[in-house]
């Protein structure tokens, strides 16, 4: 029964069978070489039996395994590998089908490759999830056929595995490494010149054009015979909170992923950078009511806690209530903190409804409002308009794009820091603003 279950008929078998049947019909109608059809039939049966014996005489003809991480990174390309090893004494042709999670909506994941006797191969491909949650992988199905290719034997490996998709830990590790090695500028993150410094000494380094001459270390300069300066650390242990709006304004998708998930990814990265820079990181999520409050800290388990909290965020994308956010922050945050508010405003009227609460928050804390450029509108404004309809659409798009700039100016007029960014540059621009504020000693 197992042989029948794992037996697949090849296309070549159907072609040969059709040829034999056609030969029988022709010889029956026109008479003559009846033995020709009979001979072909027996040759077909002999070939079928030979192929059957070749493929099934080895009990363990193939070994395979899917190699996937214990968790996937949301919004990033995650590498998946399929390991294959042949125990046959002859070369085989393989067709590999991987049953990937239904969230990817892909039914074309098929690989065809040859495998020589006793050899090994690794198939690599990547998947980009766009939503957090649990993903279920099915089996890896392999159809092996000999050089005859009349039939194929099925093998199944790596049955049913559940893999969670977490906020982008790949980005977190990338920027963490750059921050530790002081190479954040290599990723397009601009270098900010400091305006003054505190008195916490860090190291002595070579003088470069633009450094403050008042920090020259004359003793080290005399010893090295070149200008050396003292470098000071930023003030430590500041509180950095990521405020994540889970309301309907964050439901808009970009490259398959919602603005909310972009904000969650950026919050994970900036929290990690802040902790590496000796600040304390915390979280507050909200929509019509407060979702999660994670007090700022930098203990060893803080990043693990932040990652778990962000992974478990759920929302109904309801109308956002900023009055609840303001009262919660006023009640729970007594120390002046940096508040990174990830939200979105599509119109100046939407901003005016929330502006009183933003001004009050900025009076007691340093507030940075981070909202998004509508990239679809940019595509319309950048494309040429030829028909009257296209001209009308372009004019509306330009008006709405201009309104985003008005929102930024309105926030700046009230002394509120802001970032207007496209979703794919959200993380870099957020880190830029954090480094700028640290360099200017505003936090």
Helical H segments across 280-387, by residue range: 302-311, 322-332, 348-364, 375-382
Same fold yes or no, 62-166 and 169-193+234-439: no
Chain segment 78-91, per-residue pLDDT in tens = 999 999 999 999 99
DSSP letters, 123-181, are EEEEE---S-EEEEE--EEEEEE-SS-SEEEEEEES--EEEEEES-HHHHHHHHHHHHT
- Residue with tokens 């990521």, as numbered in its chain: 242
Tokens coding 93: 């042709």
7 or 426, higher pLDDT = 426
Give backbone dihedrals phi and psi of 329, rounded to 5 degrees, phi first. Answer: -65, -40
Residues shown for the chain: 443
What DSSP character marks residue 20? H
Tokens coding 239: 């509180």
- The ranges assigned to domains in the chain are 2-56, 62-166, 169-193+234-439, 202-232
Per-residue pLDDT at 188: 54
Per-residue pLDDT at 1: 47
Tokens coding 422: 């496209």
**Distance in angstroms (rounded) separating the CA atoms of residues 16 and 141:** 26
Q: Is the pLDDT of residue 196 over 50?
A: no
Give the best-scoring range by mean pLDDT among 30-34, 121-125, 196-200, 434-438: 121-125
pTM as predicted: 0.82
Strands 337-342 and 366-372: parallel
Fold assignment, 62-166: Immunoglobulin-like (2.60.40)
Which pLDDT band, with edges at 50, 70 and 90, does 195 fall under? very low
* C-beta neighbour count of 26 within 10 angstroms: 14
* Helix H or strand E segment including 121: strand 120-127
Domain at 169-193+234-439, CATH from 3.30.450.30, 2.50.20.20, 3.30.465.10, 3.40.50.410 = 3.40.50.410
Give backbone dihedrals phi and psi of 112, rounded to 5 degrees, phi first. Answer: -120, 130
Q: Report in angstroms the alpha-carbon separations of 125 from 80, 89, 218, 315.
A: 5, 28, 57, 32
- Averaged pLDDT for residues 266-286: 94
Tokens coding 360: 């009050």
């Amino acid at each position: 029964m197992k042989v029948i279950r794992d037996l697949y008929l090849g296309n070549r078998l159907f072609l040969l069978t059709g040829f034999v049947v056609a030969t029988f019909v022709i010889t029956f109608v026109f008479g003559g070489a009846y033995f020709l059809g009979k001979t072909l039939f027996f040759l077909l049966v002999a070939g079928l039996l030979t192929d059957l014996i070749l493929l099934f005489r080895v009990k363990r003809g193939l070994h395979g395994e899917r190699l996937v991480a214990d968790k996937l990174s949301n919004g990033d390309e995650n590498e998946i590998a399929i390991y294959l090893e042949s125990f046959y004494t002859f070369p085989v042709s393989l067709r590999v089908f991987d049953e990937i999670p239904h969230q990817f909506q892909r039914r074309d994941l098929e690989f065809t490759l040859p495998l020589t006797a006793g050899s090994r191969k690794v198939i690599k491909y990547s998947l980009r999830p766009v939503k957090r949650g649990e993903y279920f992988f099915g089996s890896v199905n392999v159809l092996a056929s000999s050089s005859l290719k009349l039939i194929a034997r099925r093998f199944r490996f790596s049955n049913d595995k559940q893999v969670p998709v977490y906020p982008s830990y790949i980005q977190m590790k990338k920027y963490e490494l750059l921050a530790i090695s002081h190479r954040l500028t290599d990723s397009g993150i601009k270098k900010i010149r400091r305006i003054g410094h505190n008195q916490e000494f860090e190291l002595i380094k070579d003088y470069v054009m633009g450094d403050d001459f008042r920090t020259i270390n004359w003793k080290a300069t005399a010893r090295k015979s070149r200008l050396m300066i003292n470098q000071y650390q930023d003030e430590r242990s500041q509180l950095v909170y990521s405020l994540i709006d889970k309301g309907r304004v964050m439901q808009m998708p970009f490259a398959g992923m919602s603005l909310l998930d972009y904000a969650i990814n950026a919050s994970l990265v900036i929290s990690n950078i802040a902790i590496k820079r000796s600040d304390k990181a915390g979280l507050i999520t909200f929509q019509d009511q407060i979702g999660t409050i994670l007090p700022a800290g930098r203990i060893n388990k803080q990043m693990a806690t932040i990652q778990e909290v962000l992974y478990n965020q759920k929302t109904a994308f309801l109308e956002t209530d900023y009055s609840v956010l303001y009262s919660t922050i006023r009640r729970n945050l007594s120390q002046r903190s940096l508040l990174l508010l990830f939200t979105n405003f599509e119109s100046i009227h939407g901003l005016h409804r929330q502006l009183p609460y933003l001004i009050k928050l900025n009076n007691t804390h340093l507030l940075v409002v981070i909202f998004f450029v509508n990239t679809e509108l940019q595509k319309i404004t950048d494309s040429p308009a030829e028909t009257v309809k296209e001209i009308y659409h372009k004019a509306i798009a330009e008006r709405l794009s201009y309104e985003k700039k008005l929102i930024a100016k309105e926030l700046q007029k009230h002394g509120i820091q802001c970032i207007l960014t496209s979703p794919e540059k959200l993380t870099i621009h957020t880190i830029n603003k954090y480094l700028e504020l640290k360099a200017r000693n505003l936090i």
